[in-house]
A and B are shown apart, each in its own frame.
Chain A
Amino acid sequence: MTMAPVNETVNEAGNETAHETVNEATGGAIRPSAAGLPRLLPLIPGVPEDLRGHLARYGRPPYRGGPGHLIQAVEQAGLTGRGGAAFPVHRKLAIVARARGRKVIVANGAESEPASHKDALLLRAAPNLVLDGLQLAAEAIGASEAYLYLHPGASPEVLRALNQRAAVGLDWLGVTIAEAPPRFLAGQESALVNRLGGGPAVPTFVPPRVTERGLGGAPTLVQNVETLAHLALIARYGPRWFRALGTAREPGSMLATVHTSDISQVVEAEIGAPLRTLVNPEGAQAVLVGGYHGTWLPVGTVSTLTLGNQALSQHGAAVGAGVIAALPADRCGLAEAARVVRYLAAESAGQCGPCLNGLPRMAAALAELAGQGHRRQVRADLERWAGLVTGRGACNHPDGTARFVRSALTVFAPEIGRHARGHCSATNRRPFLPLPDSMPISEEDWI
């Protein structure tokens, strides 16, 4: 909020052009307007950010000078995790900050949800915000090790940002980049810690939570990269600024990946924004909210629902990974659901009996429903299996899959009836929901 640190930074880098840019572009407060979006995404889309631009817009990260100070601001701001679980961030920070001894922080950029692109975009377009958040959170908990967990081929922008920051001494803690295998479960908290520890990216049994005993036995804070970006802004502009957008219970803005028949794009929206401002219900038959562990909703709900857990939970849905996919009316919902569940089944870690046995059977059953003339038993089997796998694995993979399946059975019930009589209402056979090509086969695929 003060101009001086920005000028100093620019002088240290010894660049006149940047200095002029700072004076011209701002001339006053750098703080973005309270009513304003975008907060995370760049002001001008498509313009790659570099460190100078970032410092001109935001200034240096406001280090507090010791652990613990930031946590109260995060609590007042009401920031919740943007990785899917929506857990209150200040609580996780507090648990790890309270612990003694070695502590670890991990910025989780392993966006394993195939339909979500927000983290990848954020890391490309605003890596410095994420890295600021990582440093500030690390200071708040007193971390001694910092990691950035990314899928392979992750943006060169991140590496460049790290190097630029190192050159001007912006980061107080060195960051190690760790590679995540391209698995759906790779970003799961305990799987992440397992991978960082040298094992495969498969979940481990909890308790103990990673915040109590994580990497190498040390309390470990794992935060999604978008969460860290929000945290970096809260540290600068305060809780009141953060709460100027969003609702009282769910403040702030969030990134969402929207899929329609025309386009897939990442948008930044205020929490509580009506869904119809994000996606046009015309021409769609149903909406998938949250991601592949999310919930199918009838297209009619788009006109009444808002983007937020409070509203969505009344329909059994949640914001999740921030995916909103409007399935066009000309596709077959059953075929789409069957493809996704087959993917989810293939991505099971195969460690827990119910998941290992239940998910492939659900996938086959859905494929049968998506075919012509299924056996009468199939629907009952699917409902039974969905119930059997829920809550009986070491992670939420079976629960999320069951939720996806159950909501698909509800929303696409008319289509099930048509298929039973040998008809399908779809005229377009092109797959809509994005899925990767390869299926994991061996142990190496998890490392």
Chain B
Amino acid sequence: MGGTTAFWYASRATGIVALLLLTAVLVLGILVNRQGRLPGLPRFAVTSLHRNISLLAVAFIAVHVLTAVLDTYVRIPLVSGVIPFASGYERLWLGLGAISFDLMLAMIITSLIRGHLNRILWRAIHLLAYLCWPVAFAHSIGSSRDLQHGWMLDLAVACALVVVAAAGWRLASAARQLPRAARVAAILAQHAPHGPHGSRQAHERISR
């Protein structure tokens, strides 16, 4: 059941765009952490895009919430954008949306004041991204008829597959990574000379 006003359309549209943007932010975040690069772009583009697109996503979500509130077909209180389960309409699914938005705000605010924050605390909050995205996804599927069939469903599923693949790659990379105490031993072993006539060293550049 949905309204036919422009506000309702705007809310649905900004919602799906926000989901796409959040998918991009998560993938970019993983790229930053793993020092990956986007082809043809300088390194600072990855960090810049990650930060800027996250702010863009927040803007889209703000519009997404506002337009849903302004639409008069159903009553959605403004606070339900940030206070979970405060809406009478679709209490559960909108509640998940609020939770995910709260997590996003926490990540962004802590990143803005990062210099004054304990490193471990910042990282712990930033890791909530892996909770934030699935909750946003659940909100999207559960609260919108659009996303439950047709090309929009395909789009949403594609985003989910991208996130799962990226997160899986991130986990595998972490599993491969040597703990600090073992790195030195590994590099020493790699550069040990072979044979009595000196070494033919591999000139690999090992970064941590």
Contacts and interface: CB of A to CB of B under 8 A. Distances in A.
B193 A356 contact: no
Interface string A354-375: 0011011101100110011111
B207 interface: yes
A72 B183 CA distance: 47
Contacts of A373: 197-198
A374 B198 contact: yes
A15 interface: no
Given A368-B199, A372-B197, A373-B197, A356 B187 contact: yes
Which of A348, A356, A373, A440 has the most chain B CB atoms closer than 10 A to its own CB? Answer: A356
A364 B201 contact: yes
Contacts of A439: 185
Interface residues of A, number: 32
Nearest to B180: A350
A351 interface: yes
A202 B188 CA distance: 19
Contacts of B180: 202, 349-351, 443
Contacts of A442: 179, 181-182
A367 B184 contact: no
Contacts of B40: none
Interface in A321-364: 342, 345-346, 348-351, 353, 356-357, 359-361, 363-364
B188 A441 contact: no
A348 B180 CA distance: 10
A367 B193 contact: yes
Contact of A375 (B184, B198, B206, B207): B198
A371 B188 contact: no
Interface string A265-276: 000000000000
Contact of A441 (B185, B198, B199, B206): B185
Contacts of B190: 360
A357 B196 CA distance: 24
A378 B200 CA distance: 11
B206 A357 contact: yes
B208 interface: yes
B149 interface: no
Nearest to A370: B193
A443 B178 CA distance: 11
Contacts of A296: none
A445 interface: yes
Contacts of B206: 357
Nearest to A362: B191
A355 to B, nearest CB: 9
Nearest to A348: B184
Interface in B158-193: 179-185, 187-188, 190-193
A363 B181 contact: no
Nearest to A419: B198
A446 interface: yes
A364 B199 contact: yes
B183 A356 contact: yes
Contacts of A348: 184
B185 A346 contact: yes
Given A363-B191, A443-B179, A350 B184 contact: yes
B167 to A, nearest CB: 26
A361 B191 contact: yes
Contacts of B196: 371-372
Contacts of B183: 350, 356
Contacts of A378: 198
B207 A353 contact: yes
A368 B193 contact: yes
Interface string A361-402: 101100110011111001000000000000000000000000
Contacts of A349: 180, 184
Contact of A443 (B181, B188, B201): B181
Contacts of A342: 188
Nearest to A345: B188
Contacts of B201: 361, 364
A74 to B, nearest CB: 37
B202 to A, nearest CB: 11
Contacts of B185: 346, 439-441
Contacts of A446: 181
Contacts of B193: 364, 367-368, 371
Nearest to A441: B185
Nearest to B179: A443
Contact of A364 (B181, B192, B197, B208): B192
Interface in B27-86: none
Interface of B: 179-185, 187-188, 190-193, 196-199, 201, 205-208
Given A356-B187, A360-B187, A364-B193, 12 more contacts: A346-B184, A356-B183, A356-B184, A359-B184, A364-B191, A367-B192, A368-B198, A368-B199, A375-B198, A440-B181, A441-B182, A446-B181
14 contacts: A345-B188, A350-B181, A357-B205, A357-B206, A359-B184, A360-B184, A360-B188, A360-B191, A361-B187, A361-B201, A368-B199, A372-B198, A443-B181, A445-B181
Interface of A: 200, 202, 342, 345-346, 348-351, 353, 356-357, 359-361, 363-364, 367-368, 371-375, 378, 439-443, 445-446
Sorted from nearest, which 3 A-B pairs have the closest CB atoms?
A364-B191, A350-B184, A360-B187
